[in-house]
Amino acid sequence: MKLLIVIVNFRTAGLTIDCLRSLEPEVAARPGTRVIVTDNCSGDHSLAQLQEAITNSGWQSWVELRPLERNGGFAYGNNEAVRAALNGRSPPEFFLLLNPDTVVRPGALDPLVDLLRQNPQVGIIGSRLEDPDGTVQRSAFRFPSLLGELEDALRLGLATKVLQRWRVAPPAASVRHATDWVAGASMLVRREVFERIGLLDEAFFMYYEEVDFCRRAGLAGWSCWYEPASRVVHLVGQASGVTDRKQRRRRPAYWFESRRRYFQKHHGMVYTALADVAWAGGYFLWRCRRFVQRKEDRDPPHLLSDFVRQSTLVRGCKA
């Protein structure tokens, strides 16, 4: 096995089946590629639906369905497959972590694998994520910082211009480039990266685990790249429901917990508290400006109050 693709399912059987269907020609064109679908104890009909699709479609030779005993989150679901493969007799060269709410465009795997093979110092590479109509999504990012939090919350053109170098989500580029971190929806990882820095941090239930992983890889000397030639449709928020663009849902506690853990783990408690103040202050100013200018409210309900309640100043050290 040269490439192992890992998909974590939690009550998204239909999406996972569509993802597998898009992978079928890619797997056929690349010998030595296998897929493991881990099911995070969905508790619905996911296992039966997935097994039926695998059997009826004749995917048994390259897809393995692996039920897990609990819903331990995104990192846990990926780690269960990666750990077993690393401990096997012939571990794969590369691991592709792929969201269930993705559809792989033809030829999307080749640019990722080719870049890692040609550049030994590149440890992680991410795909260009896009909407079904081809509209590009931002999927190459800078690491979160105090000033980045302020820029994100203010949503003010002048502030964005001044704080451009700290902007977490810059506009998507059309050329391959190095970046701090890439979206975990389609992220190829070299085996040696896992062997050197370990697996994803399972203390992150969902969100920020790929930011943490890319940061740890960078500290160990591995670079991270974005490859726009690898095109993957990402149905944003369909797997988790948290970032669904079609409906405003209250942000769950685990999102705030993951953010707080990331900042405290890499920057300490004082810096995290300052970053919290920067975001909350900037967001409060944005809400005032939105009210005065009568701008449309597209944010999750109760975002500011939930943020403050989950902040380091209120919750303390949780890293």
Band of pLDDT at residue 313, cut at 50, 70 and 90: confident
Residues 108 and 195: their CA atoms lie apart, in Å, by 25
Helix (H, G, I), strand (E, B), or coil: what is residue 187? strand
How much is the pLDDT for 239? Answer: 67
**Is 246's pLDDT higher than 70?**
no
pLDDT at 281: 97
Q: Which residues contact 113 (CB under 8 A, 6 or more apart)?
A: 3, 30, 94, 188
pLDDT, position 318: 59
Helix axes 13-29, 46-57, angle to 10 degrees: 30
The per-residue pLDDT for 248 is 78
On the question of pLDDT at 214 being above 80, the answer is yes
pLDDT > 90? residue 241: no
- For the chain, the average pLDDT equals 95
Q: What is the pLDDT of residue 1?
A: 78
Averaged pLDDT, 170-189: 97
Triad 122, 128, 134: Cα angle to 5° = 165
CA distance linking residue 193 with residue 213, whole number of Å: 10
What is the helix (H) or strand (E) element at residue 48, kind and residue range? helix 46-57
- Spatial CA neighbour of 183 closest among 228, 120, 118: 228
Q: How confident is the model at residue 244 (pLDDT cuts 50, 70, 90)?
A: low
Predicted confidence at residue 316, as pLDDT, reads: 77
Q: 3-137+172-234: which CATH architecture?
A: Alpha-Beta Complex (3.90)
Cβ count near 192 (within 10 Å) = 13
| Average pLDDT estimate for 95-113 | 97
For the chain, what is the radius of gyration of the CA atoms? 20
Backbone angles phi, psi at 268, to 5 degrees: 90, 170
What is the band of 245 on the pLDDT scale with cuts at 50, 70, 90?
A: low
pLDDT of residue 240: 59
> Any idea what the Cα angle at residue 98 is, between residues 194 and 109, rounded to 5°?
90
- Give the distance, in angstroms, between the CA of residue 204 and the centroid of all CA atoms in the same chain: 12
